[in-house]
Amino acid sequence: MFGEKAGNLIKELSRCENVLPPYNTDMVKEVCAEIKQLDDLNRSNGAIVANESGLAVNSNPLYPTLRIGVTALKRNVRCLIAYHHNRLRILRTMRWEFGSVLPADIKVNMSSEEVEWFCQYSRNLAKYMRSIGEDGLNLGLDLRPPKSLYIEVRCLVDYGKFELSDGTVLLLKKDSRHYLPRTECEELITKGIFQHIL
Amino acid sequence: MEVDNEGETEMASLELEDDDDLTLEQVLEMMEVAWLNEKFAPEILPHKREIVELLLGQITYLEERLQQLPSTDFKKGIHQMEIDRLRYLLTSYLRLRLEKIETFHKQILLEEEKRADENEALYLSPKELEFAQEFEQDLEAHLAANMNFCPNWQESTATERIVQPNLNSMVFLKAKKDVEGIAIDDGKAESSDLIDLASGSQVLINYNNVASLVKNGDVHLI
């Protein structure tokens, strides 16, 4: 049935909310092939309908076939656009969650065009953030309203030395617990080095 | 009691910037209103550039003042918390705007163009506009890279790909002053009721009917 593959593509994406499924190259290729096939079909049918000028256009027996072909083509194109567009929206959310460097397990699911788009987006965003105020404002920080000044965190990896803004140097070891100012550790939490203990 | 008083006066002096007519409190109040409006309105609202700049200046100023306090001072923690709250308010406001710009970028750019043609004030700040334009370019380039095998996909889907905010969504609002004669348009042309809002009253209403009031500041969303 026409349009089925494109529909499956969308379904696959909507099943994984906030997770990026692998870029389905095969399916996308199949949908593209279907679009091309439909396009050819519509062109030849259209030519026949136009040539049989004796009949009114919409009483031609081929007319319903042509209409279905055109609708299916449109639907396929639209699904394909939606697939690509919504994948970008997921990536965009991830830019805010993980920062400009994505974890490797997400990168393997991206197509090369998506990697490029992500770099562009990051660059654009960084440019915007630098332009706020006199020396820029990092919108990637302060993502949640501050509840308390200090939070308790557990270090998940052997990170090594970490200098606080007041000059104190901490040695961060795996599974060590720290009680630190929230502003200092926010970045390390998003990077996955710290875990916030509630 | 004595300690309390001393603390309060010092806090007050910290919060007041000498060469400015507005106190931090007033700036903060305006920022909060702008933030709430932006948060609950379905469409993008005019950028409150003056307030953002004032608040940014205040934050920098407060941070400088804070540096001078000795780290053993217990008030330092309280002020730091206050600054963090201010910064959250500001970043959250700008983030909300960016999110809207990204979602409705085509619609917004079209409207901005129209406004520029009619010499009206733009809703986006110049930098936001730049961001929106680049975002649009990147998105189009990405889609084109994936779709260019298909002839005239761009023209045939141009109108379908414009994402529009739902201006008919319901919003809670609070009136700041008496407003008379808001036409309630329920989609049927002939039956439009008029309602009046008393100052301080709160109503649940269709956003489309009050969009202009939100923008001129007679009411604010909650």
Q: What is the ipTM of this complex?
A: 0.75
B128 touches A128 (CB < 8 A): yes
Of B91, B135, B147, the CB nearest to A141: B91
Residue-wise pLDDT for A98-129, tens only, equals 877 887 888 888 888 888 889 889 888 888 88
Contact between chains at B142 and A182 (C-beta distance less than 8 A): no
Residue A76 sits in a domain of what CATH number? 1.20.58.1030
Chain B hits for A138, Cβ within 8 Å: 91
- Residue A25: domain span: 4-131
In-domain check, residue A136? no
Fold classification of B170-221 (topology level): Ribosomal Protein L9; domain 1 (3.40.5)
- The pTM assigned to this predicted structure is 0.79
Asked whether residue A12 is domain-assigned, the answer is: yes
Question: Do A85 and A163 fall within a single domain?
Answer: no
Q: Are residues A8 and A60 in the same domain?
A: yes
Residue A62 covered by a domain: yes
CATH 3.40.5.60 in chain B, residue ranges: 170-221
Give the total number of structural domains in chain A. 2
A158 and A122 assigned to the same domain: no
Q: Does a structural domain hold residue A68?
A: yes
Contact B128 A127 (CB under 8 A): no
Mutation test of the interface with chain A: which of B50, B68, B84, choosing the one with the most A Cβ atoms within 10 A?
B84
Q: Closest residue of B to A37, CA-based? A: B150
Q: How far is B181 from chain A (nearest CA, A)?
A: 38
- Indicate whether A9 and A73 sit together in one domain: yes
Distance to chain A for B188, nearest Cα, Å:
32
CB contact under 8 A, A116 and B142: yes
Per-residue pLDDT of chain B (222 residues; tens, 9 = 90+): 333 444 444 444 444 444 456 777 888 888 888 888 888 888 888 888 888 888 888 888 888 888 887 777 777 778 888 888 888 888 888 889 988 998 888 888 888 888 888 888 888 888 888 888 888 888 888 888 877 777 677 777 777 778 888 888 888 888 888 877 777 776 665 566 777 888 888 888 888 888 888 888 788 888
Tell me whether residue A138 is in a domain.
no
> Would you call B147 and A77 a contact, using CB atoms and an 8 Å cutoff?
yes
CATH 1.20.58.1030 is held by the domain B13-147 = yes
Domain annotation covers residue A139: no
Residue A120: inside a domain, yes or no? yes
Same domain (yes/no): A29, A99 = yes
Interface probe for B, chosen from A87, A129, A132, A186 (most Cβ of B below 10 Å), is A132
Which chain A positions have a beta carbon within 8 Å of B88's beta carbon?
142, 144-146
Contact between chains at A81 and B161 (C-beta distance less than 8 A)? yes
A95 plus A33 within the same structural domain = yes
Of B53, B138, B141, the CB nearest to A124: B138
